[in-house]
Structure 1
Amino acid sequence: MSDLLCIENLRAGYGQAVVLPSMSLRLPESQVLALLGRNGTGKTTLINSIVGVTRRFGGSVTLGGRDITGMRPDQRARAGIGWVPQERNIFKSLTVEENMTAVAQPGPWTVAKVYEMFPRLKERRNNFGNQLSGGEQQMLAIGRALTLNPQVLLLDEPTEGLAPIIVEELLRALGTITRSGGICSIIVEQNAQKILGLADRVVILERGTIVHDAASSALKADPAVLERFLGVSGAAAH
């Protein structure tokens, strides 16, 4: 299986601050990667660097064999980078449907298919973004990223601050997305146990560097790794 996303010796950060000293990471098609680590270890910076909103000091990012290093964030989105940031960034003054049709690109993920996955969005298709609950806004942010028909889907703490019943719904949806094939995903999540069942592979960051990279099943079998790197006893990684 060939690698879909290749990050080579990426050195990135903000202003003069280097957060990722030399990041190298490869993701094959259809792989779901859980990105774990304590707060401030560089998880969001890595996501932001793939999107293209950090300052790059060196290194490269390649998507499907195409060098996207020099591209602006909007160009990267069109090239196949789907992004669901922590802030969600939905268009509050557009309806649910307009949010998705505004960015839609041809491909298997249509607005109708998003509605199948999130019936709640279909019910609220004519509601404006600012009329949605937090959970509905998160569903819309994911749906909007999918209608771009990305090759890579980046989700930064998609379940944060949401009610448990909504979290279950979102995780089920993410399972559907990942099983549909073709897309590789990186999910930043504070709660390790929540995401281990969904991910194929787990990478743990410390000080902008990968300190653990293994199959999700191996991490489930060895909870001592979570204790060592995340300070948790296998229950939650806060």
Structure 2
Amino acid sequence: MAELLRMEGVSAGYAGAVVLQDISLSMEEGQTLALLGRNGTGKTTLINTIVGVTQHYKGGVELLGKPLQKLNPYQRAAAGIGWVPQERNIFKSLTVHENLTAIERPGPWSPNRVYEMFPRLAERKENMGTQLSGGEQQMLAIGRALVLNPKLLLLDEPTEGLAPILVEEVIQGIRRVTRDEGLSAIIVEQHPQLILAISERAVVLDRGTVVHEGTAAELRDDHDKLNHLLGVAR
């Protein structure tokens, strides 16, 4: 498969503060990458650096061989970056359907396909964003990213704060998009076993640097390593 994303020697942060230091990683088309680490290790900053909302100090970021670091976030979205931030950032003054149709781009993912994947949204397509539960807002945020028909989907803490039944619905949706549909994704998650089970590769950050990189299955099955890297012994 072709290389989709490459980060080479990237340092980035906010307002003069360097959070990421000399980050280098790559992923191929069709892969799912679990991005893990304890709180405050730079996971969200790495996602934000790909999106283009951090201060870039050095290094290169390429999508399918094309440099991104000089592009603004809108241009990166047009180049193929789909982003689901922690804050979700749905248009709360618009209906569910308006949220999806306002930004959709041509491609396999349409609002109707989003409704088929998340029936809760189909039932609430005329509801305003303010009338949705947290889980429904997360489903809508994922749907909004999908109707952009991206080449790479970035998900930052997609199950945070959700009830267990909604966590399962969201994870099944992500599994369908990545495993069944073959969309490449980078997923930040505080519950590593959830994401390692549906990912091919895993990267662990600590203090803004990569401290582990390998297959997701290897890390999932190595409880000692999980505990050492993440404080997770299960």
Q: Normalising TM by the smaller chain, what interval?
A: over 0.9
Give SS of 1:203's match. strand
1:2 is aligned to 2:10: no
Give SS of 2:91's match. coil
Give the alignment's Cα RMSD to 1 decimal.
0.9
Structural mapping, 1:155-194, within 5 Å: 155-194=155-194
**Partner of residue 70, structure 2:** 70
Q: Letter of the 1:141 partner, please give it.
A: A
Contact 1:29 1:181 in 2 (8 A): no
**Partner of residue 152, structure 1:** 152
Structural mapping, 1:1-238, within 5 Å: 1-234=1-234
Give SS of 1:78's match. helix
Give SS of 2:204's match. strand
Report runs of 4+ in structure 1 exceeding 6 Å deviation. Answer: none
TM-score for the superposition, normalised by structure 1: 0.96
Q: Letter of the 1:21 partner, please give it.
A: Q
Give SS of 2:175's match. helix
Give SS of 1:98's match. helix
Identity between Structure 1 and Structure 2 (%): 61
Give the C-alpha shift of residue 180 in structure 1: 3.8
- Give structure 2 stretches of 5+ with no counterpart: none
Give SS of 2:74's match. helix
Alpha-carbon distance in 2 for matches of 1:175, 1:207? 29
Alpha-carbon distance in 1 for matches of 2:184, 2:233? 29
Give SS of 2:177's match. helix
Q: Letter of the 1:62 partner, please give it.
A: E
- Give structure 1 stretches of 5+ with no counterpart: none
Contact 1:151 1:182 in 2 (8 A): no
Contact 2:220 2:226 in 1 (8 A): no
TM-score for the superposition, normalised by structure 2: 0.98
The count of aligned residue pairs is 234
